[in-house]
Structure 1
C-alpha cells in the first residue's frame, strides 16, 4: 500500500483529496495548522479524519523531517498555502514564509527521504497579466500580486529540484475550483461560495464592475481525479487544471439563483475600487493599493487550455457546471443550516 503525505489537508481541496485517496486504499498522513482549514472539512459520511490529522506547520523543519523519516512516504501532495489574495497583500512576509519557505521545507524532506513523486498545488493566478487566450502552460508569466508571485517562485524551486536532483515533480495550476466543502465563511470567500451564502440568507450578493467578467471554473472532483493521474509522470511538468470554458459572474449568479429558487434576489453592483473594502489596511496612505490593480483583478478574464492534461494524462473534466453547482449548493446550505 503506497504511503501519501498531504499538507493543507483540512482545507477545501486537501480534505477532498485526502478522502478520495483514502477510499482508493492509499495510506494517507494528513497535516494542517488550521489557520485556514476547518475540522468540518474532515467529516465524511463513512470517515472522520479529525482524530487522525496532525496539527502542525509546514515550516516546522523538525516536525516535517520526523514525519518523512518515520513514514518513508511514496508520494507527497503539497497543498498548504496562504491563498486569499488580500491576506497575502496585507502580510507579504508571512505569505512568502508559508508559500515559499514552507514549500522548500517539503521539497528538501522529499529529496532527503526519497519521495517518488511530489505534486505541488499552484494557481492559474500566475497568468494574471496574460492577455492572449486560451492560456497555455508554456506561456511566459509575470504576476505582480503577492499570492501568485509566491506560487510562481515556488514553481521555480520545484523546477530547481528536478533539474539538480532528478526528482519527479508536477505543478498543477488550478483554475477557480468549486464544489462541496468550498470556503464560504471567510471575509472574502471564493465567488461561488459567496453567492450561495448570500442567497441562503436572502441577501443580495455584492458584485463588482458589470458582472460580465468571466472566469474558468473547475469542479473539485474533476481536479482530484487528475491529481491521481499525474502520480506516474516523470521529471518536471506544469499542468493547467481547468474546464476550458469561461463563465461570466452574471451567468454564475443566474445559475445559482435558479438552482436555489432565489431568482427574485438581485445582485448589487459596486465599483472595482471597493473590491477589498473589508481590508482597510490596503487603502491606508501614504501608499494605498493602486486603483488600477483592483480594476484589473476584478475585470480579468480567465480561460485555460486543458489540452496538455488530456494529451499527457488522458484527463478531461467530467462534471457539468449545473451538476457541480447542484452538489455544491446542497453541501453549503446544509453546512450553513448548522451554523444558524
Structure 2
C-alpha cells in the first residue's frame, strides 16, 4: 500500500502550532524521535529563519483516532520535534537571540541579543503568522508503517547517522536498554559526551556497544554488526535487566576511579571507558574503585614517558607497546580493543601483583 496520496499537506501557522503543543494536542512519541538536545546556535538560527521569513523544513504529524465522546483529535509529531520545541522555548522567553550565532549580516539587526518579550509588536505578530509546511499522516497508518515511512524519508539523508536511523526505524528491548543506560546518571556523570554528541545519539550507540560486550564479548564494531545486534535482541532479550544493571554498576565504578583527575583526563573518552569497562569485567569487580587510581595514574606516566616503538636506542615495555598499538589503530576493532585491554591489564598485573 502506498501512502503519498493519503498524506495531506497543510500550512498551520506558529500560533496554531504553539496552542496545540501547549494543550498537548501535538505530542512527541520518543520511540522514533531524536532526543531534544539542540545546541544554542541551532536554536537561534531557526528563529532567525522565521524572522527572515525563509521556509523551514516541513514537519510530519500523525493523526490519532479522535475521542469518541468529545471528538478531540491529537497528533503525534513524527518529524519536527526539535524545531517546534525551539519555537515554544523562544516564545516562552527561555533564551535570547545571541548575536554571535546569527548570520554575519544580521548580527547588528534590531532583534540581535533580544528575548521574545523584547521584540517589537510587529515582529511578534509576523512571527505568530509564520506558516510551516506540514504533512498529516492518517490515523489508519500503523506505527510500524510510520517507521517505514520515516526510514524511506531519511535513507538518502546523510544528516542521520547510523544510530539515529536505528532509533527512528527500529524498536524493541535492546534499544530500550540502550536508552536506559544512555539516560542514566551513571553515564551522564562520566561527562564524555558533548551536547552535540548526545543530540546525534552517540551516547546511545556507546551504551549499545557496552551491552554488546555483555552479550558477545569484544567484537568488531561496525554499523552492520551493530544492526545485527539490534536485530538479534530486539524482541527476545531475557538478560536485559541483568546486563543493564551490570553496565551501570561498571560506569559508577569508573566515575569513582575518575576522582583522580590525572586518570580522568587520560581515560575520559568513549574508547578508553570501554577499555576500563572490560578491565573491570575481567577482574569480576573484586577490586574497589579507589584501589585502581594509583596503578592507572602510574600507567599513564609510564605510557607518556615511553619512547616511540621505532626508537632503536631504547627498549619499550611490551605491555605499553601493546596498549599503544590498540590506541593508534582502528579503535573500535576487535584487535585494537583487545590490545588496549591486555596491554593495560598485563602492565598493572606486572607492576601491582598484590592489587586489592
TM-score computed with the length of structure 2 as normaliser? 0.20
Say which structure is richer in helix: 2
TM-score computed with the length of structure 1 as normaliser? 0.21
Say which structure is richer in strand: 1
